[in-house]
Structure 1
């Protein structure tokens, strides 16, 4: 289940916390297609929807999913507290920091942080 919202004139598809686990690139194709059809520029997916492999960079799951969003010119927000993953992985910490510098993929803790980022 997902809903389209507008935040600071930006169409954002908000995915529900409940739903299929996202474990690879194939799992996001329907989300990207649906978001594109609805005119969204960003897709917000709760962190708990992602399989554990997403947060282990050596599996290349995160890279594949991020690349899939980029290929379809759709921006991605991973929303929620992922500190238990970043505390044990400096590579993931670096990946998150790099992503958050750009305008393609953000790792944010809550909706308020998203509102602030979309303001600018």
Structure 2
């Protein structure tokens, strides 16, 4: 896993680059938050493909627990990718819609949109 640093004004954004799943458990999320905070990042952009598919199955509870960690530690999170493969789940569509109303967590189509979201 690599961090790509984006600095927009006084905001430090970490773009996660990995060919593997980076977040598959609450422990993974907590470690990512800690490492990012230690390196001075204010927000994190994670590609959808770097997150376990279990996250997107709301029945597992993994999404709620992970997003709660990000909220508790006040680390903003953006998940960038194509979520159309999950459109059969109305509850997930609603979950994404509700997350996008707030400022803590966002679901976007691209890294560029994620940077703009964290900047604003």
Provide the rounded CA distance (Å) in 1 between the counterparts of 2:53 and 2:29: 16
Q: Determine if the alignment matches structure 1 residue 112 to structure 2 residue 112.
A: yes
- The residue aligned with 2:33 is 32
**Can you give the 5+ residue segments of structure 1 that lack an aligned partner in the other structure?**
none
Q: Determine if the alignment matches structure 1 residue 89 to structure 2 residue 82.
A: no
**Can you give the 5+ residue segments of structure 2 that lack an aligned partner in the other structure?**
none
Provide the rounded CA distance (Å) in 2 between the counterparts of 1:119 and 1:13: 12
Conserved in 2, the CA contact under 8 Å of 1:6 and 1:12?
yes
Report the 3-state secondary structure (helix = DSSP H, G, I; strand = E; otherwise coil) of the residue aligned with 2:103. Answer: coil
- The residue aligned with 1:50 is 51
Instruction: Tell me the matched-pair count.
Output: 119
TM-score by length of 1: 0.90
Deviation above 4 Å: which 4+ runs of structure 1? none
CA root-mean-square deviation: 1.5
TM-score by length of 2: 0.90
Conserved in 1, the CA contact under 8 Å of 2:23 and 2:51?
yes
- Return the offset for 1:4: 2.2
Provide the rounded CA distance (Å) in 2 between the counterparts of 1:116 and 1:23: 26
